[in-house]
Structure 1
Amino acid sequence: MASSSRRGGGDGGGDEDEPYLLGFIVAKLVGLQYYAGARKITARENVGLVREPLNVYDSNAIRALNRRGVQVGHIDRATAAVLAPLLDSHLLAAAHGIVPKPPKNARSAFRLPCQVHLFARQAAAALVGAAIAAADLDLIHADHPEFALSESAIVQEQTKNSHGDVDKLFALVGKDGKARIEPMEAPGDVVVSDLFEHQKEALGWLVHREESCDLPPFWEEDKDGGFENVLTKQKRNDRPPPLKGGIFADDMGLGKTLTLLSLIGRSKARSVGGKKARGAKRRKVEGAEESRTTLVVCPPSVFSSWVTQLEEHTKAGSLKMYIYHGERTKEKKELLKHDIVITTYSTLGQEFGQEGSPVNEIEWFRVILDEAHVIKNSAARQTQAAIALNAERRWVVTGTPIQNSSFDLYPLMSFLRFQPFSIKSYWQSLIQRPLEEENNSTGLSRLQSLLGAISLRRIKETDIGSKSLVSIPPKTVIAYYIELSAEEREYYDQMELEGKNKMQEFGDRDSILRNYSTVLYFILRLRQLCNDVALCPLDMKSWFPACSLEDVSNNPELLKKLASLAADGDDFDCPICLSPPTKTVITSCAHIYCQTCIMKIINSSSSRCPICRRSLSKEDIFIAPEVKHPDEDVSGNPSSDKPLSSKVQALLSLLKRSANEDPLSKSVVFSQFRKMLILLEGPLKAAGFNILRLDGSMSAKKRSEVIRQFGRVAPDAPTVLLASLKAAGAGVNLTAASTVYLFDPWWNPGVEEQAMDRVHRIGQTKEVKVVRLIVKCSIEERMLELQEKKRRLISGAFGRKKRGKNDKEIRVEELQMMLGLK
């Protein structure tokens, strides 16, 4: 492969930044008589193409290597003269060579036809196509009648009707590893707590994955003593290294952190024992003793979980931890003194590509990505930073490996370096595309085989009548439907009708996308109306743009309106990194992004808004004005004579009923709207409830204190916690409660599962009841339908994406569905 792609490149523009197959040209391999490697070319030989700019005979030279890396010849001079400048200028991201047929007489054949498959990013595709056409070379693209003649495994996978041979290979994957792996005790000199049986089994599996010398999946030893990947036909003389790691995907609340601490503790115990037994005969790293340091990457909310678990379950001082966050050392030696270094995904992203960043330069003994679904967007900077980390052992840890679609798994494969699935073109052709085909089980069965080979997944609940994995009391989830009052219903219906009319007025897909933020803003307000009319402005005219093309350049009111969209809810994500925006900015075309995400787009060759494709420059970017929250001390005034909303009345009724049944029982009320949590304080206090609030505006120290107070058992202890998703998401333990109220639904069912499992997890002693408050005949019922669609996508192995449409069509369809137009 001749390639111009550089690790860590990309502008954050999603799939548009990923190289894709433009098509192939037919070139010639020449000079075969001079190279011994040409004698061993076989049918459908993958040929490596390498630029040779210092070649004394031709500065455009591209040499060709066989599967074992031995030179077989060169690309013919005329074709090389076209391809070399494209590769050198990085317009071509990669060129793959394949020889369709071997020579009949290898000794007498001086040249061979070679299909050269060309990969480029979308922004460069037109320039590459023009250069190929100007040289009178025939680019055989996907719509060309001869495209199916390609010998590429990727192209053949797209065009052939039978997947039989490949499916047989997938069926064999992981079968050798199906033998039972013995449970393992935690190292007693480090871990003081007894592991549950499922944790011992997981520890045994983790250790087996790290210490096994098995060939990676799809690799076999051939008759010549070399090694071949039976899927890609790649060959090599040396044994490919084992895949030391995998996906630890146990359900949330099953104690994965303690299991991982046991794994880390075992490495330390073995290191100390080995040092005594073998003396100083150990590999050196930069003049120091070999590191056994584990890097843990996680969201900030999970820090407290790792620290608490370390304090509660390990001997004091047995494992040393360094928190690499905020003010932090730049000394590698300082970090390598510790057994665990813990940092955040955002810190990784900030330091990605920086000189002198120790996390990027250290060769870690082990890297653990906790809550690894955070890196579901392969184009995000923090994802690229995680993938680029150097480590001997690599673990993906998440209870929700798929949140939206099976494509969430691709960045995880990239991090694990699991070839060929860490290469996007292979992932798309072998897994993603078959998954997207309607009524096609090929992709699902392949995904099951693949994940079965490298992952461990257990869930808390099993089938009715069978034994649960752990002795956690059961969880029940019910939907409590609420009728709006006549006044609320009239107002809601009027708003929704206006929204439908406006959506139809926008008309086609492109017009809707140009007004994407307005539609999202409108949907947000409908959701807030279901909670309480006090959450949103009642001036309906302010909800809509003055014209069909929004422009915030000279419209400060529109700027404020859009800023409130990102600030009002916990579940608004930047469309590029798929995370809540940091340093929120708004484009002149009224779309909302992280500042760093959109600036990477603007600085790239495409420089267009990813949503509406409008051309952007730095002058089109506006910092979102600060949205001021109501003062916490004067919020929730219990003396207010304003009538309570139907949903608030329903919540109060349920809480009173629960308190009558058990005065000491505790409840958590989740809402994605911080303002709603504040509004709830007054009515709940007036009803006699002792409450606490936990939201994203609080410092980590304040949050920890709130959680500690909520766990207190006493007659005067708090019994209701009002919690936002940002503050009480991953890693927070709320087992003091036994009832969960989801005050408003979230788009993503995985997020709701995480909220429930703050309460339903190891340590819970009571049955857990989850109540979802849903307004009848409203946008909330349609959100449940959308959730169910996403659950179907993530059923099966870990997930299944049954979509053949592009993202823009899906985005518009979901907006129309929310307004009841579909």
Structure 2
Amino acid sequence: MNAISNLNIQRLFPDQTFRRGFDYYRRNLVSDLKYDRNFELWTAIVSGTEDYFVEIDTSDLGNGILKTRCECPAYATYDSCKHVVAALLSIANDDFQDPSVLKYKMTNRFMEAVSRTNEASRGNLDFKGERVPMHVEYILKQDHNDRLQLEMKAGAARLYVVKNIGDFLEHILQEPASYTFTKTFAYSSEEHYFLEQDRAIFQILNAIIQNEELYRGDIPYYLDTWSSSKRRLTIPPLVVHELLSLLSERDVKLETNEGSYEDISMVTGDLPLQFALQKNAEDDLVLDVGRFKEMEYFSDYKLLFYNGTFHRPDNQQLALLDSLYDLGQISGELPVPAEQADAFVSEVLPSLKKLGSVGISDDVARGIVQKPLKAKLFLDLEEAAITGNLEYHYGHHLIHPFQDDAERDVMIVRDVEQEQKIMQLIEYANFRYNGRHLYIQLDEDDLYVFLYEILPVLDEHVELYLTTAVQNLIVDNAPSPTTRVSVDAATNLLEIGFDLSGIDQDEVTNILDAVIEKKRYYRMKNGGLLSLETNEFESVGQLFADLNIDKGDIQDGRVEMPVYRSTQVDELIDTKKSYDPSFQKLLHQLKAPEEQVYDLPDNLNATLRNYQITGYQWFKSLSHYHLGGILADDMGLGKTLQTIAYLLSEPKEHPHLIVVPSSVVYNWKNECDKFAPDLEVAIMTGTPQERLQKLTDRKDADVWIVSYGTLRQDFELYQEQTFQTMILDEAQYIKNYATKTSRAIRQIKAGRRFALTGTPIENSIDELWAIFQVILPGLMPNQRAFRQLSHEKVAALTRPFILRRLKRDVLTELPEKIETVHHSELTDEQRNLYVGYLRKLQSETAASLQQGGFNQNRMKILAGLTRLRQICCHPALFMENYTGHSGKLEQLLETVENAKASGRRMLIFSQFTSMHEIIMKALDTRDIDYFYLHGGTNSEARVEMSNRFNDGEKDVFLISLKAGGTGLNLTGADTVILYDLWWNPAVEDQAAGRAHRFGQKNVVQVIRLISEGTIEEKIYELQQKKRELIDQVIQPGETMLSSLSEDDVRELLSI
């Protein structure tokens, strides 16, 4: 409902713009008019030289602001245009088509008015007792502008004229209500009542009065007289349909220019129109509009009235009624000149049938031909042009649309709508007419567009007749590419070939090059244009793009790829496939390693579990094709044993190199001696001179074991050596691509490379990329492109080369791991310190973030967070003179004593070395013996302490979280206490995995100690929110914590 009247619209625009917009509106060029009540926004499509989208925002109309927008060039220049004018006029004239939504902006005042009257109505639903009913008579009168004005009479015993409708409604709709009609009669709600049907009408009338200004804009062009008397109320178009429906059920009279009616009704459907087409004395056609001249057409209301009934035409009928209205008022007949007879029967006659019945006299009917259109287009190739002739056939009558001036003794009812569509297509195809035939001058690109885009559309509307020359340009039954894949045993490369049936192999490479160049077509040697826009060729193009195949890579219609692309190639091929048995075997080995049948070595001194045998088969399957991978089994599932079994099974060609953290060098040596005593193992440790001597003396050993640090130092000594296999244990040590260690390892010569890690991703998915740059260089795109890949894409690329099993899935007999959180309270001394440091850090950090200095102050912020965590553990960690207590330490000691009393043995992890010293002092005072492992503990001592603890010596093992999180088997413990939280929960999981692993016989309890109401609770929540990345890329069950972001810091510090 728009408060802008038509007069107001005219004032808003320059005269020329308004006149053109008005012309567009009268020509019904506005369509798809819609209203969004939530945003108070109108949208429409206005057809001009093109279809333009128009928006009209009325949300700020109450403040006198109307916002508009149009896509046309004129609007971009002048901020107004004829399309906006046409849309506004359509809104003002109720052209909105959706009956389920109000056509105009329904103002809150109107809704509130209806709501108030509804409430008043509900207040009158009580028992009427002896009250007297009121009778109402409604009188509708047609004014000189063909609008309806309403008058009323009301009363009990007799009827009285309502002299002021507004005043009447204002009093009647109150509660209690009273209204004085005359000196002798007054209405009182205590003595009288109105029927609910009348009160519903009152509600609408009252809303009209309250929104009179709004409805003034609803009636276009006629603003000179609204209601000349207070006893009359002009009915606006917005409510006329609803109001007339209600009035038709009441006592109503209608006075029109043609007469009076005591009863009215409202119908939708067929109109009561009858037309007659006949010939006059001069043998010309004459259209008799029949009773139309007896009808009243209320154009503002879009209603046709006849014999007591209002008829609601549809939109298509309305346009025709507008054009007939003047005719019906002036004369009942329309003479049709002979030269316009064909056009009349083709264009006017079908439209009249949409309005009503059309009677055709026999002498006229005999001269009318009504046959379906059959259009034919004949095309030929003449030098560099396509020529054509267009024909319309109606039965046996032929029409040449560009030169037809033949006289006929019949009138043909032509399919004007279809002919117009065909002509639009002819124009769209850029055909020109030279007086003899149609023609198009085309270069090769335009010719392709014509053949493959325009012809199919023309074919839907006309019958095409092509000469041989034109047919030869189109490659019928375009060949569908078939992709062949095989494995070249000699080169260990995939060979991908492409077959195109019916095309010589020497042309296939050129066609594939055209696909890579993203060309739309290829010109064949025979002159035909082969479309490369089919689904099959687009699939080939996508395959080339995904595999980074360029023109130079294709030779003789074939391309070679590394075998590690096998599953990727299989997933990407979306054409017909032809796989060689060698490639089928490779796919099967990569996708189903558990189904392979590589024999275990007889001299393996261990019995493998089923899942470990699958791991062994996975190793062997990849190794067979000189591939590598990541064994990412959960901690405690025996990655070391599976690896040793694989190394033992391999033929002795070159030594195997195992690169490990320094803390587990001897552990690997012991495991090799235990499970594969036939392997000669050399440990590359000692001083530089000793290591150099070992490289000389032990170069024939089957297995070399070296730490990451030693390899980095002695890299030049390893450069010339070729290794059969390189094993990277705890491969997260090479997660940073730019480090010297990673660079050194990438240059080691090894036929196969495998990584072992329970956490292939700790902080970022870039770490997975860095590991694959070592074990399968070339599998991943460059780092920038890799970061653009979705997690699903990364998973698809790496799936065959990552084997990961979780303990809960494969070790069903493994005792349960119970994880609990124990909260402790800060002591008073701790709390005072904590609050002071927290407020200071919040203030400093908020200032840094406000100035956009998060990255510049990251280290300072992280140091402040660490200080808060240290206060939670024990303030003495950084305050030398602190003499107070720690609530968490007291809880730990109580937990240790209770666990010992229950016969439990425990591992206590902390990341702070000073915290271990505080804990050791507290344990010493309680005579509790313990082992202590930290970053300075050498490998031999680590192994010795682990063995002694597992043999039952001492009940407590203090371990540095980072130093002891990997490479330890401590199944002698059944309780793991994490004294403080680490930013990365994967490190905590590794720590818990020291006890909860293969060989554990007891239920393992993992206890996290958290200070209540502190940052530790926020850290724990943050950990839980960031455990999804590995689930998406690898398999469920792993955890990670991305580097702290600005949002993370805000959440941790509540700022």
Q: If the length of structure 2 is used for normalisation, what is the TM-score?
A: 0.44
2:1051 is the alignment partner of 1:820: no
Which residue number in structure 2 is paired with residue 487 of structure 1? 829
Whole-Å Cα distance in 2 between the matches of residues 209 and 408 of structure 1?
22
Q: Which amino acid aligns with 1:339?
A: D
- Higher mean C-alpha displacement, 413-422 vs 521-530: 413-422
> How big is the shift at 1:649?
0.8
Does residue 408 in structure 1 map to residue 773 in structure 2?
no
CA contact (8 A) 2:829 2:884 kept: no
**Hey, what's the Cα distance between the residues in 2 that align with 1:533 and 1:519?**
19
Mapped pair 1:386 → 2:745: yes
Kindly report which structure 2 residues correspond to 1:663-702, keeping only aligned pairs within 5 A, or say none. Answer: 665-702=904-941
1:257 aligns with 2:640: yes
Deviation at 1:416, TM superposition (A): 2.4
Distance 1:425 1:243 in 2: 27
Q: Deviations over 1:607-657 (max 9, x none)?
A: xxxxxxxxxxxxxxxxxxxxxxxxxxxxxxxxxx95541101111111111
The correspondence of residues 303-382 of structure 1 with structure 2, limited to 5 A, is 303-315=665-677, 318-323=679-684, 326-327=687-688, 328-329=691-692, 334-352=697-715, 357-382=716-741
**C-alpha contact 2:681 2:705 (8 A) present in aligned 1:** no
Shift of 1:774: 0.7
Question: Matched residue pairs, number?
Answer: 498
In the TM superposition, what are the counterparts of 1:63-82 in structure 2 within 5 Å? Answer: none
Residues 451, 166 of structure 1: alpha-carbon distance in 2 compared, 3 angstrom cutoff: closer
Moved more, 693-702 or 363-372: 693-702
Identity %: 29
Q: Is 1:533 equivalent to 2:772 in the alignment?
A: no
Residue identity opposite 1:525 in structure 2: R
* Residues 662-811 of structure 1 mapped to structure 2, 5 A cutoff: 662=903, 665-713=904-952, 717-798=953-1034, 811=1045
Aligned partner of 1:602 in structure 2 is none
State the alpha-carbon separation in 2 of the partners of residues 426 and 349 from structure 1: 29
Contact 2:712-2:744 within 8 A present in 1 as well: yes
> Does the 8 A contact of 2:663 with 2:942 survive in 1?
no
Q: 2-side partners of 1:176 and 1:368: how far apart?
A: 21
Distance in 2 (alpha carbons) for counterparts of 1:106 and 1:330: 69
What is the Cα deviation at residue 107 of structure 1?
A: 9.7
Report the alpha carbon displacement of residue 771 of structure 1 after superposing the two structures with TM: 0.2
Mapping of residues 204-353 of structure 1, within 5 Å: 204-211=617-624, 242-267=625-650, 270-271=651-652, 290-291=653-654, 293-315=655-677, 318-323=679-684, 326-327=687-688, 328-329=691-692, 334-352=697-715
Q: Deviation at 1:670? A: 0.2
Aligned counterpart, 1:514? 856
Where 1:791 maps in the other structure, the secondary structure is coil
AA partner of residue 622 (structure 2): R
Partner secondary structure for residue 689 of structure 1: coil
Residues 646-665 of structure 1 mapped to structure 2, 5 A cutoff: 646-662=887-903, 665=904
Counterparts of 1:782 and 1:264 in 2: how far apart (Å)?
46
Decide which of 613, 623, 638 is 1:200's aligned counterpart: 613
Q: 1:335 to 1:100 in 2, by over 3 A?
A: farther
- Which stretches in structure 2 are left out of the alignment for 5+ residues? 1-480, 482-505, 527-540, 550-567, 578-585, 1037-1041
| Mapped partners of 1:799, 1:204: distance in 2 | 20
Distance 1:751 1:789 in 2: 16
Structure with greater strand percent: 2
In the TM superposition, residue 668 of structure 1 has moved relative to its aligned partner by 0.7
Answering whether residue 836 of structure 2 is matched by residue 497 of structure 1, we say no
Q: Which residue of 2 aligns with 1:465?
A: none
Rounded Cα–Cα distance in structure 1 between residues aligned with 2:596 and 2:942: 40
**Residue type at the aligned position of 1:666:** R
Q: CA deviation at 1:498?
A: 1.0
Bigger Cα displacement from structure 2, 177-186 vs 775-784: 177-186
Q: 1:424 aligns with which of 770, 773, 783?
A: 783
Change (3 A) 1:318 1:792: closer
Structure 2 residue identity aligned to 1:773: L
Superimposed CA distance per residue, residues 716-740 of structure 1 (whole angstroms, 9 cap, x where no aligned partner): x321111102331211121111110
Maintained 8 Å contact 1:252/1:399? yes
Contact 2:724 2:752 in 1 (8 A): yes
1:797/1:811 CA distance change after superposition, 3 Å: closer
TM-score (norm 1): 0.55
Q: 1:780 to 1:192 in 2, by over 3 A?
A: same
1:183/1:204 contact within 8 Å kept: yes
CA 1:452–1:661: 2 relative to 1, 3 Å: same
Q: Tell me, yes or no, if structure 1 residue 476 matches structure 2 residue 818.
A: yes
Query: For the residues of structure 1 that align with 2:637 and 2:713, how far apart are their CA atoms?
Result: 32
Native 8 Å contact 1:448 1:797 kept in 2 = yes
RMSD (Å) for aligned C-alpha atoms: 3.8
Work out whether residues 377 and 383 of structure 1, in 8 Å CA contact, stay in contact via their aligned partners in 2. yes
The 1:261/1:170 distance shift into structure 2, 3 A limit, reads farther
- Gap change, CA 1:773 and 1:331, over 3 Å in 2: closer
Question: Could you say what secondary structure the match of 2:668 adopts?
Answer: helix
Aligned to 2:81: none
Q: Is the 8 A contact 1:183 1:201 kept in 2?
A: no
Aligned partners of 2:590 and 2:621 also within 8 Å: no
C-alpha contact (below 8 Å) 2:824/2:891 kept by paired residues = yes
- Tell me the equivalent position of 1:169: 572
Is the 1:100–1:151 contact (alpha carbons within 8 Å) kept by the matching residues of 2?
no
TM-aligned CA distance change 1:187 to 1:151, over 3 Å: closer
Unaligned runs of at least 5 residues, structure 1 = 1-42, 44-67, 73-96, 109-148, 158-164, 212-241, 272-289, 435-442, 463-467, 540-640, 801-806
2:1050 aligned counterpart, secondary structure:
helix
CA distance in 1, matches of 2:608, 2:1012: 45
Distance 1:265 1:676 in 2: 44
Contact residue 411 and residue 422 of structure 1 kept, 8 A: no
Secondary structure of 1:393's counterpart equals strand
Does the residue aligned with 2:727 lie in a helix, a strand or coil? strand
Shift in Å, 1:418 = 5.0
Q: SS of 1:766's equivalent?
A: coil
- The 8 Å contact of residues 198 and 470 in structure 1, kept in 2 or not, is answered as no
The corresponding residue for 1:453 is: 800
Q: In 1, distance between residues paired with 2:589 and 2:1022?
A: 39
Secondary structure (helix, strand or coil) at the match of 2:1054 reads coil
Q: CA deviation at 1:709?
A: 3.5
Q: Closer, same or farther in 2 for the Cα pair 1:522/1:535, shift >3 Å? A: same
- In structure 2, C-alpha distance between the alignment counterparts of 1:480 and 1:680, rounded to whole Å: 18
Query: Which SS does the other structure have where 1:718 is aligned?
Result: coil
**Aligned 1:634-645 pairs, distance under 5 A:** 642-645=883-886
The aligned amino acid for 2:946 is I
Is the 1:332–1:362 Cα contact (8 Å) retained in structure 2? no
Aligned to 1:583: none
CA–CA distance in structure 1, aligned partners of residues 923 and 701 of structure 2: 47
For residue 964 of structure 2, give the secondary structure of its aligned residue in structure 1.
coil
Written as runs of structure 1 = structure 2, the 5 A alignment for 1:472-621 is 472-508=814-850, 510-537=852-879
Q: What amino acid is the match of 1:265?
A: L
Structure scoring higher RCO (CA < 8 A, sep ≥ 6) equals 1
User: Cα deviation per residue 1:476-501 (whole Å; 9 max; x = unaligned)?
Assistant: 11111112123322321221111101
